[in-house]
Amino acid sequence: MPHTVNRGRRKAGRPKDESKRAAILRSAGDCFLNAGVAGTILLHDLQRNTWVGGHAERADRALLPASTFKVFSSMALLEAGVLATKHSVIPWDSVTRDRAETNRDLTLQEAFRLSSLAHFQVGVRRLPPGFMRRFLDDVGYGNRDLSGGDDRFWIDGGLRISPRQQVGFLKRLFRNALPVSPRTTQVVKEMMAIEEPPAYVLRAKTGLTTVPDPGSIGWWVGWVERGARVTFFATVLESVTPPADFAAKRLAVTRCALERTGALPGPPAPPR
């Protein structure tokens, strides 16, 4: 059964509120019931200082970050001066791949939104010697392990990060508390914005990779700004034999939990 966590401050004498909160916690965990894959989702409401988890016993399980690392590597490219703005061009390496939309020069913003591994590998190779090591240490990202190749360590190398660490990293980004310039922070936040209707802003990044152990790994991390409320999320799925809709399940599970907790507009939690 899904596990939930709530580490925020509780107010005494509010049984109705507590009952409602418990129902929301159970409902968010239920988003995993029909997913058919292992994994977890961790949500953190910044203002209320509360945590919600579906299969929260896995919240500290560290895995390859895959393309969620593009949030970090975009900062590295900007801070090192390899790229000046989100409109700076990363050249195509002239290798034709299955995704035709990536077989050309791309701006940083285009490469980020298309999640083009090849373009970020080109960019990372242009970092000054030792820069990535120093930057990982300064920021304190995951386990800071660069083994496996300078342009592959986040895809199938030694780098690992847990859902709880993902949320912590994103909270510092949101609060402008990372050791980077305000310009870099602003550029990365802008690139992460994938939905901006009047009612909310959703900033996020996906990640997907397959390795022998644990198999396929699918991430969706980010946060929702809805009025004064800010909710961070980190979802990761794992499967040795992933279903055809494995990548889509990352988004579906996350949206379900965000809607049921009220972070995103949508159907309320069903009655229990």
Catalytic site residues?
A: 67
Please give the Cα distance from 103 to 8 (Å, whole number): 47
Instruction: For residue 241, give Cα distances in angstroms to 207, 210, 246, 252.
Output: 17, 10, 10, 19
- Residue whose structure tokens are 């900062």: 75
Q: Which of 246, 220, 223 is nearest to 235 (CA)?
A: 220
Q: What is the DSSP letter of 258?
A: H
What one-letter code names the amino acid at 131?
F
* Secondary structure tally for the chain: helices H, strands E: 8, 8
Q: What is the 3 state secondary structure string of 186-255?
A: HHHHHHHEEECCCCCEEEEEEEEEEECCCEEEEEEEEEEEECCEEEEEEEEEEECCCCCCHHHHHHHHHH
What one-letter code names the amino acid at 72?
F
Q: Is 41 helix (H, G, I), strand (E, B) or coil?
A: strand
